[in-house]
Amino acid sequence: MTDDRLSLQEDRTWALLVGVMMWLPAELDTWLEDAADLSHAEFGVLRCLSTSEDREIHMSRLAATASVTPSHLSRIVGRLERRGLLLRSTDPADARRTLARLSKSGATLVDAVEPGYVTQVRERVFGLLSPSQADQLEDLAEAILTPLRGECIAVLPPRASRP
């Protein structure tokens, strides 16, 4: 093995990770498109708003929480706003910041779609893993994401205690 090439195991592991990153979101996109005429990224934004205090969050934090770039978030929020699923407003405490708020129809949609989404994620991810593997997946994903986007880790709920 040379340092300028991946080992066979590294290459296989990398191909598997890229496959998961490519095909899992595509499968969830297809399901969400059929269930609610939403992309996975759009539903992720709505879910983040639905779990935040007062169903309202600053756009910069929403981008980190939903794991999308700020420019992509602006396009997503524009589409969701046109559908009446969320509202944008200027933060009264700081006019330079924009708030996104889940609308009543957005909350209704999330409540209707969430059970099926949970089923999809459990079938396609957690149902295929043992509890130990799920813990390892959490550890591995956090180890990879932290140096890339530590702000995404910072806005997640705390790690559940493990037995």
Give me the residue spans of the domains in the chain.
Answer: 15-124
Between 111 and 61, the higher pLDDT residue: 111
pLDDT value for 147: 94
pLDDT band at 78 (very low <50, low <70, confident <90, very high): very high
Q: Residue 16 — φ and ψ, nearest 5°?
A: -65, -45
What pTM, to 2 d.p., does this model score?
0.87
88 burial class (0-12, 13-18, 19+ CB within 10 angstroms)? middle
Class for domain 15-124, per CATH? mainly alpha
- In this predicted structure, the answer to whether residue 92 has a pLDDT above a threshold of 70 is yes
**pLDDT (mean) for 125-139:** 96
DSSP 3-state of 129: coil
Give the single-character DSSP code of 25. H
Q: Do 129 and 140 contact (CB within 8 A), yes or no?
A: no
pLDDT value for 1: 53
Q: What angle do CA 156, 158, 163 make, to 5 degrees?
A: 135
**What beta strand segments (E) does 76-155 contain?**
86-91, 94-102
Q: In what order do the strands lie in the sheet with 86-91?
A: 56-58, 94-102, 86-91
